[in-house]
A and B are shown apart, each in its own frame.
Chain A
Amino acid sequence: MADIAALLPPADETNRPYREALKDGRLCLPRCDACGEFRLRASRYCPSCGGTSSRWEELSGSGRLWGRCVFHQVYFEAFRDRVPYGVVIVELEEGVRVFSNLADGIDTMQVPIGTALAAVYEPVSDEVTLLRFRPA
């Protein structure tokens, strides 16, 4: 699955703490010190309030299934032998959304929108662990 890991953009200071935490089985994101909103990657300014101070904090990993689709088209060579595969949007209980997959063996279209989900940390290479979900 190293071919999948290679699809990630290069690690940098905006995403490295997130990726390192996933390898430890934890979900961490930058949180604004001023308004408390989480965001998906580090940035100088908070998109919600313009605040300039934030810190990495751990999230619960709990959320709900917001949306689903199943890819039949091959857009990446790494997925050629994996189609059809599901992609979901998960709304975490802290309000942040992520694109993700349900864990291996789960038929995406059989899991209803709104289902409570819990994070699953799936290593795809020595360096990369992905954030996936299973019904809670």
Chain B
Amino acid sequence: MPHKELSGRVAVVGVGTTGFGKLPGWSAEDLGIWALDNALADCGLGRADIDGLIVNRIPDYQRFCQMTGLDPRFVNVTPGQGRMSGATIQIAALAVAAGMCETVALVYGNNGRTGGVKYGGASDRYGATAGGEWFAYGMTSPGAVHAMMFDRHRHEYGTTPEQLAHVAVTFREHAALNPDAVMRERISAEDYHASRFIAEPLHLFDYCLINDGGVAMILTTPERARDLARPPVHLCGFAQSSALPTSGFPPDDFWRVPMGQVATEVREMSGIGPRDLSGAMIYDNFSPTVLFTLEGFGFCPVGESGAYVAEGALALGGAMPANTSGGHLSESYMQGWALNVEAVRQLRGDCGPRQIPDAEIIQYMCAAPVVSAIVYSR
């Protein structure tokens, strides 16, 4: 596990987001710069203060530095997959903690909606279905993989579509309180069940929203953070694990083994477990992922996530308010980045009508072939 002494050694000091939606004329780099400028303004730093850079989804760090004048000592680029956002934040934290840079900018830009990006069909690059070996059987898309996983969960534990509906309905309720969310019109359980199937048993509202947008985060040391404009939010636990060798097919265990490893490590590193959290940010590419995450990270017993969400646990005011921005299902699919920013905003008390009262500790989690978690605290 990551060394315990790294707990609290790195802080998020600046966050920035663009508008989300259809933004024709904006390249991924443009969107990243827009978000970066907002994050710099947020903490009162300038581009010259940045000595570390990791870009994600933006394909070329070199071109990005040419476009911005950023002159980092430490630089990297990570694959443009949502599972990599948490992992990228962890790399940045390690770079700062190790002294390879002092102030690192994480910049994400995605023009996928305008660019017509599709996650199914000929352009499918998802691990289980990329390469086209199964296209002749009509098999494609991460959504269909998650549909099969939910079908399995239903088979093993009796989880119902009525229970699953609570995830999409609750996150839409949160999005209604978020002026930045793309989809803000409340939906009922009836609306959910009446919506069309994409890959049955999943409905339209079980799918995240592909949009254009950018997100940036600035991380530095707690010492440097003291001089900056906003209160720091500390990374007090983080870990990752994976389940890659067999990832050509959905996992038998809904990624419970790697999630259990990560849950144990972040708890040991931070001293914080599910009961200590003010809220959770759960990677919601598809709504069943939320169920798998709740079980894998120990928020409820295995097989009981359906009942847990049906009790209203994830709602503001519930046992574990989650995805208060609306998440990927209703705010925008910013591949985990905007969920991490929402964690920071909640801990600063910046969230207005969707604020979790007295939020002190929030955990981000991503269940996928690469699992990651980050515990943020004030």
Interface residues of A (CB under 8 A from B): 4-5, 7-9, 15, 40-41, 47, 66-73, 75-76, 79, 82, 84-85, 87, 89, 97, 99-101, 109, 112-114, 124, 128, 130
Within 8 A of A (CB), among B167-204: 196-202
A residues within 8 A CB of B118? 75
A residues within 8 A CB of B161? none
Closest to B132 in A: A9
Instruction: Specify which of A7, A40, A68, A76 is in contact with B151 (CB 8 Å cutoff).
Output: A68
Query: In the complex the two chains form, is A97's CB within 8 Å of B249's CB?
Result: yes
Given contacts A69-B199, A75-B121, A124-B136, 13 further A-B contacts (CB under 8 A): A67-B148, A67-B250, A69-B148, A69-B151, A70-B199, A71-B138, A72-B197, A73-B199, A79-B138, A89-B148, A99-B139, A101-B138, A130-B136
Instruction: Specify which of A72, A112, A128 is in contact with B198 (CB 8 Å cutoff).
Output: A72
Query: In the complex the two chains form, is A85's CB within 8 Å of B138's CB?
Result: yes
Query: Interface residues of B, CB < 8 Å — how many?
Result: 35
Q: How far is the CA of A89 from the CA of B134 in the complex (A)?
A: 11
Query: In the complex the two chains form, is A84's CB within 8 Å of B200's CB?
Result: yes
Q: How far is the CA of A128 from the CA of B136 in the complex (A)?
A: 10
What is the 8 Å Cβ interface bit string for chain B, positions 216-237, against chain A (1 contact, 0 not)? Answer: 0000000000000000000000
Interface residues of B (CB under 8 A from A): 118, 120-122, 124, 129, 131-141, 144, 147-149, 151-152, 155, 196-202, 245, 248-250
Q: How far is the CA of A101 from the CA of B135 in the complex (A)?
A: 11
A residues within 8 A CB of B138? 71, 75-76, 79, 82, 85, 87, 101
- Among the interface residues B135, B152, B155, which one has the most CB atoms of the partner chain A within 10 A? B135
Query: In the complex the two chains form, is B152's CB within 8 Å of A109's CB?
Result: no
CB-CB under 8 A for A109 and B200, given A9-B133, A69-B148? yes
